[in-house]
A and B are shown apart, each in its own frame.
Chain A
Amino acid sequence: MYTTPTCVYCKMAKQFFQEHNVQYEEVDVARDLKAREEMVKKSEQLGVPVFDIDGKIIIGFDQQELSELLGIT
């Protein structure tokens, strides 16, 4: 999960993951410039959050799509 410290949707996503016991790795692209480049390359855009779930890229906190991909009902 690519985030910035100020991004509200990142906070919402983290809370959503915690509620559903989903483990995730968080990368702060405000500090980590290499990770930012990686995120831009993967998502071809500049917004956060971006999720990489086994190679499937999701841009923005799309609760429905994340739920479907992660099997959350």
Chain B
Amino acid sequence: MIDVLIIGGGAAAMSAAIYTARKKLNTQIVTDEVGGQTALQPEIYNYAGFLDKDGHQLMQNMRTQVSELGVPIVESTGGVKKVSVREEDGKEVFIVTDNAGKTHEAKSIIIASGKKPRTMGVPGEEKFSNKGVTYCATCDAPLFSGKTVVVVGGGNSGLDAAMQLTKYATKVYVFESNEKVKGDQITQDKLAESSMVEIWTNIEVKEVKGEKFVSSIVYKNKTTGEEKELAVEGVFVTIGMLPNSDFLKDICDLNQWGEVMINPKTNATSHVGIFAAGDITDVLEKQTVIAAGEGAKAALQCYKWLQSR
């Protein structure tokens, strides 16, 4: 039987796998894909010792390390659907069912399933997904050359998306629902220099419209109460992330945001034998370097727990 099953494919998961494999634990990774949010970052300047900048390259390096240690990675699973428990010789065995229908059994689990982009939940958003509505500026910005686009969300990801889009689009609007944008001043200053960027605050998105592809966005100006329509061909949604924790509701404690609550010293969850690391947890800072460190912590504690089991 597998000693430790790691759920996820980002920095926390890869780092955990490196540590458990080096402890000679029989390790397996189950994930929809390897890379996580880090792989989508075109430029990383704050991961000590990593000079390539390309987030995808950083994750490829981690993958190579994991593969060289002989850890199998089960991919294209559509994520994990369920974690359940059975008893064998008075000890718990975890059964992980993925969305491809396969089950995996293990003595312990490290959850590192990360986060996914939050959606706006307005009419037209789903219908026009990949038809003008997108959640990844890095991936899709070049497809909007010569077009008018709107970035929904004025946090750091939103302003970064707007920065990337200035290279391609002819006009970039940023819609922020609060009175002020929250993104870093340094990016705000850069955007202010560009005549093609307009930042609108106190804006609530009501609907995305179009025929085959997006042609406009309906919004409400919360200051005046007016509802208006703006012609755009691209809608870049950057309004935060949600934890991939739906499959954990019945097995361990989650906080009000759906993050897995962990003991910050041991990375143990409320369920004995299940550990968690990275952005899926209630760790305060969501950073690649921190996720990697948390993955290592979880792995070492998991090893100790298995030894004492």
Chain A interface (Cβ within 8 Å of chain B)? Answer: 4-9, 11-12, 15, 29-30, 36, 44-48, 59, 61-64
Contact = CB atoms under 8 A, between A and B. Distances in A.
Contacts, number: 62
Contact-residue bracket for chain B: 20 to 34
B134 A46 contact: yes
A62 B212 contact: no
Report whether over half of chain A's contact residues are helix, strand or loop; otherwise say mixed.
loop
A46 B139 contact: no
Given A11-B56, A63-B75, A45 B139 contact: no
A7 B139 contact: yes
B212 A44 contact: yes
Contacts of A36: 143
Given A46-B132, A46-B213, A8 B60 contact: no
Contacts of B21: none
Given A11-B56, A62-B76, A4 B143 contact: yes
Contact of A8 (B56, B100, B142, B212): B56
B125 to A, nearest CB: 15
Contacts of B100: 64
A42 to B, nearest CB: 13
A62 B75 CA distance: 10
A30 B142 contact: yes
Contact of A12 (B33, B141, B168): B33
B139 A47 contact: yes
Contacts of B82: none
A63 B77 CA distance: 10
Contacts of A63: 33, 75-76
A61 B75 CA distance: 12
A48 B40 contact: no
Contacts of B132: 46
Given A8-B40, A11-B56, A15-B60, A59 B130 contact: yes
Nearest to A7: B139
Contacts of B138: 6-8
A36 B213 CA distance: 14
